[in-house]
Amino acid sequence: MTLPDTTVLRTRVGACWPGTRAVFRGLDLHRDLAGAGSMDLFLFGITGRRFGAHELRLLDGMWALTGYPDTRLWNNRVAALAANARSLPSLALAAGLAASEARVFGGGPAFFAIEFLLRAGERQRAGDGVEAIVADELARQRRILGYGRPIHATDERLPPLLALAGREGLADGPHLRLALDIEQVLLRRKSFLKLNYAGATAALAADLGLTARQYQLYNVFKTMLGMPPCVVEAAEKPEGTLMPTACSQVVYEGHPSRCWTARGRAAPT
């Protein structure tokens, strides 16, 4: 006897009926959304609203401008090492993306940057000055993520990003202006605290109406475009030969060599 399936899933985001149709946030995926681009569908899935073509070009460019295929980068290295060990491409990319969610690099600073800028924007609209906003944040957190870059004080991605935003008519939003004003306050404190890519993209996303959580979801794939070339190249090399480290290069400072014994047995002499 086969029992009926009594599982009920209540959802507003969509469902599929194999052989018939699929619904994506209330629209027929193959009829109403026919021809939609991947970024269009991606943002519609996250936010439930459609973005204009100029907004999608900016969001797409925010991914493309930081798609660095350099295996030395920490997240690309994880993906490449997995590929060189003959792991599946999906697992290699998943591992690299998971490593991208670091608190200091990648997804962490971007999330905290937009969360701060959204709060700062609310305070500014309530009448608070930028100096006070920055002072209060530094007193509370000791630093503001989205400013400063450990590798190099100058972020080479900002000029093309701001140029793209300008071409699309999206370079004059209130959060981006606020982010630039905050930069000037921070630079008076320390000369290396320039606005970085995480802060600039967070400001642009805030001006597009994304919440911190929505931006975090969008941001998951912002570093992915550089990974596939690293995965392909690493998989073409002999297994175990990517970035090899000789034993002589390992500086070990732990316990000295010890003799281990099986339980109940004396160590061999």
Q: Does the residue 186 lie in any domain?
A: yes
Residue 133 included in any domain: yes
Q: Do residues 129 and 213 both lie within one domain?
A: yes
pLDDT profile of the chain (269 residues), mean per 10: 68 92 95 95 96 98 95 94 96 95 81 95 96 94 88 90 98 97 94 93 98 95 94 95 83 84 58
Quick one: 32 and 112 in the same domain?
A: no
Position 138 in a domain: yes
Find the CATH number of the domain harbouring 113.
Answer: 1.10.230.10
User: Does any domain span residue 228?
Assistant: no
**Rounded to 5 degrees, what are φ and ψ at 220?**
-55, -40
CA distance 67 to 226: 4
Of 85, 141, 91, 94, nearest to 113 by C-alpha is 141
Residue 131: inside a domain: yes
Q: Which of 219, 243, 263 is the last residue of a domain?
A: 219
Kindly state whether residue 85 falls inside one of the protein's structural domains: no
| Percent of residues in the chain assigned helix, strand, coil, to nearest 5 | 50, 5, 45
Instruction: Name the nearest CA neighbour of 73 among 81, 65, 84.
Output: 81
| Residue 183 parent element (H or E) | helix 174-189
The 10 Å Cβ neighbour count of residue 216 is 20
- Give me the number of domains the chain comprises: 2
- Side chain identity at 169, as an amino acid letter? G
- Give residue 21's domain range: 7-36
Q: Would the pTM count as exceeding 0.75?
A: yes
Residue 47 is assigned to a structural domain of this protein: no
- Describe the strand order of the beta sheet including 14-17 as a list of residue ranges: 14-17, 21-24, 27-28
Domain boundary residue among 202, 219, 236? Answer: 219
